[in-house]
Structure 1
Amino acid sequence: MSLESCEVVSREPLMLRDAKWVKLVKTVYTDPHSTTRDWESAERCTRPVGVNYDGVGIVAILERPGSSPELLLQKQFRPPIGKITIEVPAGLVDANETAEECALRELYEETGYRGEIAEQDKSCLMFNDPGMCNTNLHMVHVKIDLDKEENKNPKPQLEDNEFIECFTVPLKDLYTECRRLEKDGYAIDARVGTLAEGFEIARKWKFLQ
């Protein structure tokens, strides 16, 4: 079996009473001219009480002696778009868990790797699609030392409904790899695409060589 065998079987409207993970919301607001308007959006039902974000995305860098750094990526079939998507490891935060703790836990569960938080702080709070939903996250930078014994034969701890394939891409090749993967029919997650665009902009404008 492979991710390529996944397909959308049917699609139909979902009644609000039957939704487990998301809900639709109508927001009434006033615009700059004091005109009252309506806005339809979606909200997650999973955010822990007292937490102001939903989860984390993980920029996991694999360090190989004598080699350029590589970014750990994943392939997952995403039913809403009916495609296999190229993503960074990510997950929802648990109650009483920091973003850093969430990142290390999700990294191990989805990839089997044991990582270390990099020196950089977690990112600013980022909203995935603020015109459509209130979902947000922190990006957390994690280093994976491949010299450590625990990382030589990583075994993901996936749940029954998780089907994930991991692979790596040299950071310097991320932009061209995203272009190639798109041509091959994969969907590029915005977090991955934004990283790639950032690297390409830095290269073109001489911030990176």
Structure 2
Amino acid sequence: MDSNKSKILSTEPLDASEARWTGLIKTTYIDPNGVKRTWEHARRPTRPAGSKIDGVGIVAILRNRPGQGSDEPTILLQKQFRPPTTRICIEHPAGLIDPNETPEECALRELKEETGYVGEVIGDGAGFVMFNDPGFCDTNLQMVHIQVDMSLPTNQNPTPQLEDNEFIECFEVPLKDLYTECLRLEKEGYGIDARVGTMAEGLELARRWAVFK
């Protein structure tokens, strides 16, 4: 599988009757000065009833790799061609939540399906709700932190269970090098997903300003 073989053949307006994953909305509202205004935006029509989120992002940290003298944490990332950007993007594993599924259950399921790895949720589970692009759409998610124990037999030869329209390449980056790796990958022509980039920026700010001593 080589994502570099993907290419755009054409683009055209999408009729609303054909849309499965996106809806266009016009919202009328009153601004702080009492002026009536409208806002054009997109929405995701797939959020399950009763769920407060559309999906999850997965911060997967790999530890305890057999045969290595150190246990430096690495973060699991993905390369995936995204037609809206016309390029391969660097992303966290992620996915849409199923009905009656918790964010933690969704994250563990999606991690297994997309990467083949079996992990465990660390910390307090899912974090705060994040809106991906609030000026453009209502899509949101929660990030779930997962640790993958590479010494477990189940993680020795991971086998993803991808759908026929998913073409995902997984790779690892030392967590401490995430910012510099994002810069390098962007120079090579990859698109950096905002969640990956924001995490990298946060790590770099913490390093630069010695937040954690």
1:130 aligns to what? 134
Structure 2: gaps spanning 5 or more residues: none
Q: CA deviation at 1:119?
A: 2.1
Give the superposition deviation at 1:89.
Answer: 0.2
Helix, strand or coil: the match of 2:185? Answer: helix
CA deviation string 1:116-173 (max 9, x = no partner): 0002331100000000000000000000000000000000000000000000000000
What is the aligned partner in structure 2 of residue 4 from structure 1? 4
- Aligned ranges 1:125-164 → 2 under 5 Å: 125-164=129-168
Unaligned runs of 5+ in 1: none
Give, as a single letter, the amino acid of the residue that structure 2 aligns with 1:173: D
Tell me the equivalent position of 2:189: 185
Q: Does 1:18 align with 2:18?
A: yes
* TM norm structure 1: 0.98
TM-score by length of 2: 0.96
Q: How many Å apart are 1:17 and its aligned residue?
A: 1.3
Which of 58, 74, 77 pairs up with 1:73? 77
Identity fraction in percent: 60
Deviation at 1:80, TM superposition (A): 0.5
Distance of 2:90 and 2:5 partners within structure 1: 16
Tell me the residue number matched to 2:56: 56
2:104–2:125 CA contact under 8 A, matched in 1: no
Separation in 1, partners of 2:34, 2:138: 23
* SS of residue matched to 1:100: helix
The answer to whether structure 1 residue 46 and structure 2 residue 46 are counterparts is yes
Q: Secondary structure at the match of 1:201?
A: helix
Cα deviation for residue 67 of structure 1 reads 2.6
Residue in 1 that maps onto 2:112:
108
In the TM superposition, structure 1's runs of 4+ consecutive aligned residues that sit over 6 Å from their partners are none
Within 1, Cα distance between the matches of 2:79 and 2:167?
A: 9
In 2, distance between residues paired with 1:38 and 1:132?
Answer: 13
CA distance in 1, matches of 2:48, 2:183: 37
- The equivalent position to 2:172 in structure 1, one of 168, 171, 179, is 168
Shift of 1:4: 0.4
Q: Distance in 1 between matches of 2:148 and 2:14?
A: 41
Q: Report how far residue 64 of structure 1 moved.
A: 2.9
Q: Residue 103 of structure 2 aligns to which amino acid in structure 1?
A: A
| Cα distance between partner residues in 2 of 1:198 and 1:136 | 20
Question: What secondary structure sits across from 1:75 in the alignment?
Answer: strand
Question: Considering only aligned residues, what root-mean-square deviation do their CA atoms show, in Å?
Answer: 0.9
Give the structure 1 partner of residue 205 of structure 2. 201
User: Which amino acid is 2:127 matched to?
Assistant: S
